[in-house]
Structure 1
């Protein structure tokens, strides 16, 4: 019984068994917790995208809306219940979602009749530099890589919603500044940019271009980015050699490795070919 509740005595004057009442009230709370857990499980199963705690709360009418702490407690119980299952409850940038465990991907991939998408080494280099040096312009990327960046690469990253335009640098020509998106974090199973491999683990990065400081403190910064803006027209599309593409699964695995591995990927093969 609550502290302010008034006990109700039976008409025959028999004393109320307060312990029994508390047991009933506790059982009712347990039922509510189980129902809340079932509702959240159903919402996450039916949703085609991750749901945040706030988004889950908004799906309840105000009179029955649980607190954020109650929702998080239910999510914790759901996650615990998935520990020995083939799927898990994963928190990414946009919220929570159910997903198959990563080590089962070879079997799950056999369900898909479509061939996995393939990406060039140049695209992966560009994406890696945007992820670590954002916001960054196309000119900055070209300066680091030492070669021109194809508009096809930028357009592909924009179309996949892995990057967006967050502003324009106040210099002649006002070049677009690019940054990664929540969709990028969701796709690569990241909750935030701080889950990227820290720059301190990247070897010899300063040799790429000493003029661009990618070092002290960069890995810890939190970015607050403005709304997306128009990137402007493309001007220098170029054809992509199919022989230089890699599988999407391979690209995802590579994207989780240190940036110097990404930047050096494929060069050994190219050197062998040149010989």
Structure 2
């Protein structure tokens, strides 16, 4: 009987285990105070890289802060990781308000030639869908009726649905115009798909107009040509 009693966990041990299970966060050591500073920093680097590598979307600063100590500088960690990956065919890049693992552009041809399925591949858009997406990017928030005025032809619900299904646009605030129609705005996935950190990274439309590279009239002409091609097919 004495031996059996000795094998039972004490009430104090049971209480501690219950506290750890209830607390949840105690089971994950963010601070790593038991490690020397250099090993602690190294472990934080590995954690941050693992999270970014595993994530399907760009990882925000707030998300990364959950796996490192409170006094840890996320920016310095990222700098060290970027230097460490300098000789690799992939890198960590700032995009859509966070960070993401990306293969380097120099290896794009090799990746395409391999025909291997890739993570987060962009949706295949028609020329007209691409033009509508560009217009939303520059003029958001914008209604479907306003898009139709830009293109001189009705932008169909199917076109909008295609861009929504590709997670490139989402509903914005309702327009103050009669009927209060929904507007459309681009998403974080839009930024990620086009390697932009924020919408400020869009080429300045006025500069493009001044350079004769783009204008609202050009958008309309190209869109009409694309519509004509689609109808002929």
TM-score by length of 2: 0.71
- 1:49/1:262 Cα in 2 relative to 1: closer, same or farther (>3 Å)? farther
SS at match of 1:131: helix
Aligned match of 1:72: 75
* Partner of residue 67 from structure 2, selected from 42, 59, 72: 59
Aligned match of 1:37: 45
Cα distance, 1:170 vs structure 2 = 2.2
Aligned match of 1:28: 36
Counterpart CA distance in 1 for 2:219 and 2:147 is 17
1:134-165 superposed Cα distances (whole Å, 9 cap, x missing partner): 11111111111111112111001111111111
* Partner of residue 91 from structure 1, selected from 94, 119, 122: 94
Query: After the TM superposition, which of the residue ranges 112-121 and 198-207 deviates more from structure 2?
Result: 112-121
* Partner of residue 185 from structure 1, selected from 171, 187, 191: 191
Give me the CA root mean square deviation: 3.0
2:135 equivalent to 1:129: yes
Check the 8 A contact 2:85/2:91 in 1, yes or no: yes
- 1:172/1:266 Cα in 2 relative to 1: closer, same or farther (>3 Å)? closer
SS at match of 2:125: strand
Query: After the TM superposition, which of the residue ranges 167-176 and 105-114 deviates more from structure 2?
Result: 105-114
Bigger helix fraction: 2
Q: How many residues align?
A: 189
Check the 8 A contact 1:121/1:266 in 2, yes or no: no
2:115 equivalent to 1:111: yes
The answer to which structure, 1 or 2, has the higher relative contact order (CA under 8 A, 6+ apart) is 1
Unaligned runs of 5+ in 2: 1-34
- 1:118/1:263 Cα in 2 relative to 1: closer, same or farther (>3 Å)? farther
1:188-230 superposed Cα distances (whole Å, 9 cap, x missing partner): 111000011111332355562xxxxxxxxxxxxxxxxxxxxxx
Check the 8 A contact 2:96/2:192 in 1, yes or no: yes
Q: How does 1:153-164 map to 2 (within 5 A)?
A: 153-164=159-170
TM-score by length of 1: 0.61
